[in-house]
Structure formats: C-alpha cells, structure tokens
Amino acid sequence: MKKKFFAVAVVVFLIFLSLTALLMFSKKSETISSDQQHVIDLMGYPKQFVITYVESGSDNNPQLTRNEIWIYPEDGLKVTFLGGNLVYSDEYKKSADIIATKFKPEDFEFDQTYSQIANIIGKDSLYEVEDLPGITDKEIKVYTNGEVMFLMENGYLTYLQTFSYAAEENEK
Amino acid sequence: MKRTIITLTLFFIIITTLSPRSEARNLFRDLFRGIKNVSRFVVTLPDKSTRWMGPVLGPIAANIISQNLAVNKHVGELFVHANRINQNINNIEEQKKYLSQVQKNLLNQADDLHKQAQEIRDLKTNLEKNLLSGDLSYDEYKDKFIALENVAGAYERTADRFTQTARNIKSENLIGMIARNTWNQTIRQIKNEVNYTIRSEIDKYVNPQVISFLVGKDDKSLDQVIEILATGNISSILGQKGSKIGSDELKNRVAERIKSVLEQNKDAFKNDWRGQINRIINEEISKLEKEKENLPKPEASKGESEDKASSGSSEQKSDGCPNGYVFCARCGISCIQANCNEVDDGHYSYDGHCICGSAGSINENPDDPNKGCYYSREYESCPGCLYACVHSKEDCPLDGIGEY
C-alpha cells in the first residue's frame, strides 16, 4: 500500500515538474525586434521612451499589441514601433533639457507584476498616485518615482513612460 | 525510493532557483486568466470584455505628473489625499461655487468627446461605400472598421469617465483638487492629451503602412527602416527651405536612392546615417527644382476650360478669379478650377482644390493615379490648373513634375 502511494506521489510530482519546466521555457524570450535592433545600431538606445499596449486583433481573436515610442531629442526624432515593427517616424521638438534614462524599453513587459517593476526602477520613493482626474476604476493604479511613471490595469502593465527632465530647483 | 524522491526534490529546487521564481508565478497567473504571450509584442486575450485603457489614460496621467514635476521635484508632496481640508476654502458658498464649476467643466469635456466619437463613427460610412464600390476588399474593410471602432470606443470610454467623475465628485474631493491649484490647467491638459492620443491613434490606424501591418505583415529590412527614418527628415528640410516641391514625389526619389545605395553596400548608412540621408534629400530637392524650372509651357489651346461648376462663362475675371476658375462662395477656397471634373481621375477635394485619385483621403490607395500634373502659375489660360492625373511613378504628359 505504501509503495503504491509513493509511486502515485512520484508520478504526480513528475507531472508537476514537467508542467513547470514546460511553462518556464516555452515562453518566447525575444527582447528586441530586428527593426529595433537596426535603430539601436544606427542611433543607440532612446533617451526617453513610452510603452503602451493597444487593442488589436478581432472579436474572435482579441489581442493587445505592444506600441513603443522612442525619443532621440538630439536628433529631433521620435520613432514608433507597433508589434516590434518600425511604422512611423516624426519630428520631435524638445521643450526642456532631457537627461538620458538609465532604463531600456526591453526592461519592461506586459505581464510583469508591480513588485518586479519596483525592483527594476527602485522601490525607494515609488508610490501610488491617487485622485487623478478621469481615473476612477479601482483596478487601474498609477505609480511613479519621479523618473518613471507606469499604469497597471488588472495587475498588468499597460502604460509606462520615462521622465528624464533636468529637475527644477524651485520648490512650491 | 527515498533516494529517488530526494534526487527529484533537489532537481526541482535547482530548476526553480535558476529561473526567477516570479516568472513561474507570472506564467501560472497568465495561464489561469487565459492570457497568453504570442510573442513579446503581441498578447492574446481570453475575450474582449475587458477594455484596456492604458493608451488613453496613460498619457493623461503622465502629463499631469510631469507638469507637477517641473514645479516641485519632491513629487511625494504633490499628491495629497482628497480628504485633507484646504484651509483656503472657508465658507460653504465658495465651495458650492467651485463644485458647480468643476462639474460643468467635466460634463462639457464629456460632451466634446462624445461628439468626436460620433465623427469617427461617421468615417465608417465612407468605408462601407468603398467596400460596396469595390475599392476595398472585405479583409481590408474589416480591419479598418475594427481600428476605427476601437478609436471611437476610446473616446466614448473617456467621455463616460468624465461624466461619472462629474456626478460623483464631492466637496472634499474638490477641496483636495483645488488645494493642488492645478484644476483649470488639468482640464486643458486632459483635453489636449486625449486629443493628441486619439489623433496619434488615428494616424496609426489610418496610416497605410500600419494598416498593411494589421492586414498582413511585411518583412522589414534595413533599407525600409532607413526609408521610414528618412521620412521624418524630409518634412523638416522642405519646411526649412520653404520649397514648393511635393513631399510624396521627393519621398519616392529618396527611397529609390536609398535602395540603390544599399544594394551596393549594406553598411553604407551605419556611419552618420542622418548626414547621408540629409545629403540625398537635398540633392533630390535640387534636381526636382531644376526640373520644375525647365518645365515647358503648354500650348494655349489645351488650357481653355469650360465652366462646369457654376453657370458662368470661362472668362471669370469679373468675379476676381483668374482664367479657368470660377467663384464658389461655399467652398473652402473662393476660386475653384472650373473643369476639374473633366480631367480623368480629377475631382474637387473637400475644400475646393482640384486633386487626383484618392490622394489625401483616409482611404488613399497608392495604386491609384494620385499624382497631379499642374500647369505653372505663369500659364495665363489656367494658372496652376490640374491637367492630368498619373500614377506615382509615371511622368506627367508634358514632361513636368507633379505637385500633390
């Protein structure tokens, strides 16, 4: 009886182990698309960037597509990627001196948790922004530490923007 | 048996410590919620019932936060919980007055957004016409329809939020907002940000390149990447030079040059790509301007136009319009080309200009004869008149270049 119990336990354990390994390693891990690599080769990483996810697909196959805007203030250029593809470039007029962010777009992903993002950007001085006009849904949370701002919807990252302006010295 | 279990347990511990444990937790979370990463760039959702507001609300929040950062670098002091009382508001009458104004502002903004959503929905009517006339395939129509619907939906959702906020706002919330002293500025910011975001969304969805992406992906290569990057430079250089060269013609020529250079040397643009692109652009501008100067003047007989837009004769100097034009009080421009509709594929734009094919519309099709061929301004019979419509790579019949 004991032997049978152990045998069943081992089988269950192996199944669990296989499932975990399968999930861990089946996730696609491409971090940069070929278009993005071309742009990095030509211009380096962006000084600032915005990441968001726009609705796409169809009713039968609803999807969110990653949309990134990379900003190069010295070049006066702003480039837009949709789903990793470079789709648009536009003139960028900077309104203040911009310091390069230390983060890279590939540091952040849709399914990161708040804790994971906080570990990346630093937990110190990170706090939730409350009472923003127009945001009343309790499932939507906005966080910032003054350098990065991000929005979590239903526990998923759907918007992130870097701030890298030279800080004003005046205090109100 | 014990040894086996111990071995398997040790193996499991090693596996879980090699990869971040939170990664496994994320994957299980996503699995149970039916969310799957097709790739890093596309996420498949279980259903369409959840509306994702990141693209709309994110810029709003970012704008407010960044504006406050410019004022006070100690961000933590700026966002006070709404329940704190502002000592500057001392009487009930003042509170009521501000409350009423705030609610009114919010409801007005909601109205504006609802109207814009309706305008976007009206655009879909044009899509249907194009489908029925055969200008669009069903797949193209479906994708564009969904894209426009998404944008209209974003407007509606934001408008509903403003309405809801206006209804739910209480005196203590109001006091908190006024204490931050940003209310009027915030309203303007919100409106500008929503407009900017939605315009950006529209640009993305109606841009032929993006629509092409949505319908079926094209492989990109380095030359196409550089071509897209060059597009941003073209507008800025043309603006600086004050040139009257058509930007589309210029883009075509620059793209051809880029491809030609890259065919000979794939790494040609890796050093100082911007300087090289600008050099190509300036060279092509010079060539186009020289060609334009050498454009031969057409014979006078080809320029005589017939009045089809109004009941007047072709001689319109009495109404202040030049030869070949007639006065149109209800048009965007006062003088319109009289014979525009007689030019093959020529037609009036919404503001009265005579243009070709589907040029400039949201359904612009690059395969249409969108390139306009115009007489010079010195041509007395019909100065600046459209006389032919050709495809983008064709030359104008009089060996001139077209303005778009």
pLDDT at B15 over 90: no
d(CA B394, nearest CA chain A) in Å: 26
Please report residues of B whose CB lies closer than 8 A to that of A107.
none
Cβ–Cβ below 8 Å for A17 and B11: yes
pLDDT at A53 over 80: yes
Range with the lowest mean pLDDT among A89-103, A148-162, B209-223?
B209-223
Residue B10's pLDDT band, with cuts at 50, 70 and 90, is low
pLDDT at A144: 87
Please report residues of A whose CB lies closer than 8 A to that of B275.
none
Return the H-helix or E-strand segment holding B365: none
Range with the lowest mean pLDDT among A63-77, B174-188, B285-299?
B174-188
For B297-303, what is the mean pLDDT? 44
Nearest by CB: B57 against A75, A134, A154: A134
- The whole-model pTM stands at 0.46
The answer to whether residues B394 and B387 touch, using CB atoms and an 8 Å cutoff, is no
Please write the tens of the pLDDT for every residue from B104-133. 666 666 676 677 677 667 766 677 777 777
Nearest by CB: A129 against B28, B55, B79: B79
pLDDT at B390 over 80: yes
pLDDT at A116: 93
More confident residue, A88 or A114: A114
Beta-carbon neighbour count of residue B255 at 10 Å?
Answer: 18
Number of residues in chain B: 404
Portion 63-102 of B in contact with A at CB < 8 A = 64-66, 69-76, 79, 81-82
Query: Among the residues of B207-342, which ranges form H helices?
Result: 208-215, 222-241, 247-264, 273-293
More confident residue, A135 or A89: A89
Please write the tens of the pLDDT for every residue from B36-68. 555 678 888 877 666 777 777 777 777 667 655
Tokens standing for B296? Answer: 């031969």
Cβ–Cβ below 8 Å for A62 and B44: yes
Q: Could you tell me which of B404, B403, B398, B383 has the C-alpha nearest to residue B294?
A: B398
pLDDT at B31: 54
pLDDT at B7 over 80: no
pLDDT at B96: 61
For B167-188, what is the mean pLDDT? 51
pLDDT at A114 over 90: yes
d(CA A51, nearest CA chain B) in Å: 9
pLDDT at B368: 72
Cβ–Cβ below 8 Å for A84 and B176: no
pLDDT at B366: 66
d(CA B305, nearest CA chain A) in Å: 41
For A9-32, what is the mean pLDDT? 65
Cβ–Cβ below 8 Å for B150 and A54: yes
pLDDT at A13 over 50: yes
For residue B222, how far is the Cα from the chain centroid? Answer: 24
Cβ–Cβ below 8 Å for A63 and B37: no
pLDDT at B169 over 80: no
**pLDDT mean across residues, chain B:** 62
For A64-86, what is the mean pLDDT? 86
Nearest by CB: B210 against A31, A87, A129: A87
pLDDT at B218: 41
pLDDT at B95 over 90: no
Residue B387's pLDDT band, with cuts at 50, 70 and 90, is confident
**pLDDT mean across residues, chain A:** 79
Q: Could you tell me which of B143, B42, B56, B146 has the C-alpha nearest to residue A66?
A: B42
pLDDT at A20: 64
Tokens standing for B280? Answer: 């190509």
Determine the Cα–Cα distance for residues A30 and A44; give it in Å rounded to an integer: 19
Question: What single DSSP character describes residue B368?
Answer: S
For B24-34, what is the mean pLDDT? 55
d(CA B372, nearest CA chain A) in Å: 25
More confident residue, A128 or A110: A110
For residue B202, how far is the Cα from the chain centroid? Answer: 5
Please write the tens of the pLDDT for every residue from B344-364. 778 776 556 787 876 554 445
Question: Amino acid letter at B381?
Answer: S
> How far apart are the two ends of chain A, measured CA to CA in Å?
76
Nearest by CB: A163 against B54, B66, B81: B66
Question: Amino acid letter at B96?
Answer: K
Tokens standing for B116? Answer: 């814009």
Beta partners for A78? A71, A90
Cβ–Cβ below 8 Å for A66 and B40: yes
Task: Tell me the C-alpha to C-alpha distance, in Å, between residue B176 and each of B71, B99, B165, B397.
Answer: 18, 12, 14, 69
pLDDT at A72 over 50: yes
- Is the interface score ipTM higher than 0.90? no
pLDDT at B397: 73
Residue A119's pLDDT band, with cuts at 50, 70 and 90, is very high
Give the chain B residue whose CA is nearest to the CA of A24. B24
Helix (H, G, I), strand (E, B) or coil at A27: coil
pLDDT at A83 over 60: yes
Non-local (6+) Cβ contacts of B339 within 8 A are B305, B306, B307, B308, B324, B385
Please write the tens of the pLDDT for every residue from B223-279. 556 666 666 667 666 666 666 666 667 777 887 787 777 767 766 666 666 677 788
d(CA B402, nearest CA chain A) in Å: 25
The answer to whether residues B337 and B323 touch, using CB atoms and an 8 Å cutoff, is no
pLDDT at B302 over 80: no
Beta-carbon neighbour count of residue B102 at 10 Å?
Answer: 21
State residue A36 phi and psi, 5-degree precision.
-65, -35
CB crowding B336-358: b at 16 or more within 10 Å, else e: bbbbbeebebbbbbeebbbbbbb
For B388-401, what is the mean pLDDT? 69
